[in-house]
Structure 1
Amino acid sequence: MEMANSSATILGDRDDLILEILSWLPVKSIMRFRCVSTTWNSLIFNPDFVKLHLKRSSRNSQIILLEKKIEDRQCFSAVLHSLPCLIQNPTPSSAHSILLCPKPYKYLFGSCNGLFSLHFSLSTYECEEHLVCFFNPATKICSLPSPSLRLNYGIGVQYDINFGFGYHDLRNSYKVVAMVLDWSTQQTSVWVYCRGDVRWRHTIMTSPAFLTIDSNGYFLNDTVNWLGHSSKESKLQIFSYNLKNDTYGYLSVPEFVPTNSEFTSMGVLNGCLCVSFDQERTVFVVLALKDVGNERCWSRLVSVSYETLNISPYYDYLRSLCMWGDLLLLTYSQLWDDYDIIIIFNLKENKVQRTQTYCKHSSSRIFSCHYVPSLI
């Protein structure tokens, strides 16, 4: 009996050591090791180990650069960079890998804990149907399609739909949030799909409608957020949906942010919700909201002149991509060129560190998405 207990202890200690070593390895290596034995396979996909590996992988977050075609937003290509490599050489040729998403999904609208949320839609004369899935590019594992979110047509009925993707830690649930604008009723309804659900849940109906500026919702601290304004007034607001309790609220944006600029956008930088805009094409400004629950926490993260950035006022779609330490990556393109310019701006020294041409397909724009390889 004592010998049996001693053997179990040795085996347990050995498993702990194996898990400790594996938890520091990249996903690609771990996926090879799962073939060693059924025991190793069970250890690798143990939920506690998956969480431990994700926690350690998060220290080496990466960035995805997406090319979205202007004339058809449901087409994209994506390349994966580590942040240090992107800073040193922000070109497609320096990418760690090109991401290929499973068919028929054509639109990536979110990344969380190593999972992508992908979208596909079908339209007929009677309705349009929207399906999503969760895809892990590191493990190449794709979930089954979600149930269909069906929007029926009628006389004068027209819809706009925008998606967001996030994670609720306490419930260990991944949620897709769809904001559906019905132009005929001037109402916005919110639908939620949680991984494993058998249907979409209709959680909220708002009136007047909320018109989004940035199509994608941005996830931060249990909330998915869209920048836009009410259909009855032009004042900018943030529609914030809480994944924890399925409630929503509106966050005010500082009044000096222009409502008529086509280059106003939102994103997440250094753990803050950020709004970027230009002032009469002379100054580029980024505001940061540190606490999503407190709209009084806005601060000015960046305010830099076009002269400092060496940007002509005749550009197309200036926006921020990501931050790494004191370095902010911006992207813009000239109206007459088929390539983007990536600017690496040093906030601490208030100067451009370097610029780089980023070759892209014509009629497309560069976006970014944070990514952490995981076993989720």
Structure 2
Amino acid sequence: MSNIPEDLVMNVLSRLRVKSLLRFRSVSKSWRTLIDSPTFIKMHMERSMKIGSTVEVIHRRNLKKFYSLHLDLSGNPVRDPEELPHPFGYRYDLEDSVVFEIHLVGSCNGVLCFVDSARRIVLWNLATRKYFEIQYLRIETPKFANFYYLVNYGFGYDCVTDDYKVIRLITTYNGISECYLVEVYSLKSDSWTRFEDLVGNTYRDNHGILVSGALHWIRDDNESPIVAFDLTEEEFNVVPCPDLSGRHCWKNLGIVRGCLCFFCDYPMLHAELWVMKDHGIKESWTKVFTESKSPIHYMRPIDHSKSKITVVSEVNNKKLAWCNFEQKSITNNAPIRYINTICAVRSLEACANYDSLVGTSWKRHDGIARSSTKKSCKEF
């Protein structure tokens, strides 16, 4: 095998599933080095996303159980939902252990990001079953913030620096004053950076949406409700929102075919879904549908089928559904097909997952956090 050109070996191996590649790492030291190399991992990931045969959706059933649902690219379930091993490991396997609520806050390149109610963060590759526990950083709030604080998370990949980053947006209150802090964890440097920045009040449980190298959140600002954190520059920018038919509506973000989408519900009136086809350009917002007296009050598109006509979405925080956006109507032409997720709870957290080799060398990590502080990158 030593006479086979490495380019040919890479080309062949990059077409295989992760399960097979993990076995082939034992063939030889050269193969292990090749399969673990950043170049090969990127090549395999790009190919998996292009030719993948299924869409894998991870969703939460209750406080601490997660399931994997495989859908074919026409939108049909391949098999029943499968319960996943716990992302935080053995500590949650004990029946008499303290129950920590766990949230799925994002996914990128086959890596899932989980946060529990103790503020512990784990990056988990479902394909390799490897996980990385991010070093804990205690949330430090100003002395005046003696009432409470809210934390919003985001997770994404910076293609310029080849780095995975976790973002924490912290909003503190004391009934009169507010303070906004931003903390960024870099997997490459294994350290946190704290920014003293004004980002505006974000909504509770509003996890960042990764589009075009930036994480997006909704904040309490009717004029400029969308903010984006550029993962490379590590600065915030305001993203122009579409021309809405009214100011007072429930808003949330999602992703459709790689584009940022904006859903707004005007209670008792109608719902709208917009897609930004050219990121950052206000004029590129396109209205996908408007529905009067819509039965859907919340929609977050997650991933699309092979035809790109149907999109799997969270609906009303309780269900997953395939939505056909080309029909321009939710109720009249019945473009929504609900997916059996065995998930009968008051809320739903879901994201797409892909066959990926990212983190093949991860090991259990515990430690004392290192951090540095920077001044505001950009003020609004």
- Select 2:289's aligned residue among 302, 309, 323: 302
Q: Which runs of 5+ in 1 are unaligned?
A: 1-9, 123-129
- Which of 327, 336, 354 aligns to 2:310? It is 327
Verify: 1:39 aligned to 2:35, yes or no.
Answer: no
Give the 3 Å change call, closer, same or farther, for CA 158–62 of structure 1 in structure 2: same
CA distance in 2, matches of 1:221, 1:317: 23
Name the residue aligned to 2:106.
110
TM-score (ref. length: structure 2): 0.77
Once the two structures are superposed, what CA deviation does each residue of 1:115-147 show, in whole Å capped at 9, x if it has no partner?
A: 11222343xxxxxxx332322111111124324
Task: Name the stretch that deviates more: 348-357 or 36-45.
Answer: 348-357
Instruction: Give the match for residue 170 of structure 1.
Output: 160
State how far apart, in whole Å, the 1-side matches of 2:319 and 2:165 are: 33
1:159 aligned onto 2:174: no
CA gap of 1:176–1:246, structure 2 versus 1, over 3 A, is: same
Match of 2:374 in 1: none
Q: Pick one of 220, 230, 239 that aligns with 1:242.
A: 230
**Distance in structure 1 (CA, Å) of the matches to 2:341 and 2:238:** 38
Deviation of 1:97 (Å): 6.8
Higher-Rg structure is 1
Match of residue 365, structure 1, among 331, 347, 350 = 347
- What does residue 3 of structure 1 align with? none
SS in structure 1 at match of 2:279: coil
Identity within the alignment, %? 21
Looking at structure 2, the residues matched to 112 and 79 of structure 1 have their Cα atoms a distance apart, in angstroms, of 16
Matched, 1:374 2:356: yes
Instruction: Select 2:80's aligned residue among 78, 85, 94.
Output: 94
1:188 equivalenced with 2:180 (yes/no): yes
Deviation at 1:164, TM superposition (A): 0.4
Name the SS of the counterpart of 2:39 in structure 1: helix
1:347 matched to 2:335? The reply is no
Matches of 2:61 and 2:220, distance apart in 1 = 24
Q: Point out the more displaced range, 272-281 or 146-155.
A: 146-155
Alpha-carbon shift at residue 305 of structure 1 (Å):
5.0
| CA RMSD between the two structures | 3.1
Partner of 1:53: 44
Q: Which has the higher helix share?
A: 1
Matches of 1:200 and 1:33, distance apart in 2: 35
Counterpart amino acid of residue 12 in structure 2: I
Q: Confirm whether residue 228 of structure 1 aligns to residue 219 of structure 2.
A: yes
One-letter code of the match for 1:46? S
Aligned 8 A contact 1:225 1:241 in 2? yes
What SS is found at the alignment partner of 2:161? coil
2:263 alignment partner AA: S
1:197 CA displacement: 3.4
- 1:228 Cα offset (Å): 2.0
Corresponding residue for 1:66?
Answer: 59
| Partners of 1:19 and 1:142 in 2: CA distance | 25
Q: Is the 8 A contact 1:340 1:366 kept in 2?
A: yes
Q: Counterparts of 2:243 and 2:327 in 1: how far apart (Å)? A: 27
Say how many residue pairs are matched.
338
| CA deviations over 1:302-352 (Å, ceiling 9, x no partner) | 33456xxxx7x4x76455444321113455469xxxx74735436158633
Aligned to 1:19, the other structure's residue is in SS state: helix
Counterpart for residue 255 of structure 2: 268
Contact 1:203 1:246 in 2 (8 A): no
- Asked whether 1:136 is paired with 2:128, we answer no
Aligned residues of 1:287 and 1:301 also touching (Cα < 8 A): yes
- Residues 55-86 of structure 1 show CA distances to partners (whole Å, capped at 9, x for unaligned) of 111112734242365xx6xx45232324426x
Change (3 A) 1:204 1:270: farther
* Gaps in structure 2 of 5+ consecutive residues: 92-99, 359-380
Q: TM-score, normalised by structure 1?
A: 0.78
Moved more, 282-291 or 108-117: 282-291
Q: Deviations over 1:224-278 (max 9, x none)?
A: 1101224xxx44511111111111111232342655444x321111111111123
Counterpart AA for 2:210: F
Runs ≥4 in structure 1, deviation > 6 angstroms? none
Partner residue in 1 for 2:373: none
AA aligned to 2:168 is A
Q: 1:217 to 1:270 in 2, by over 3 A?
A: same
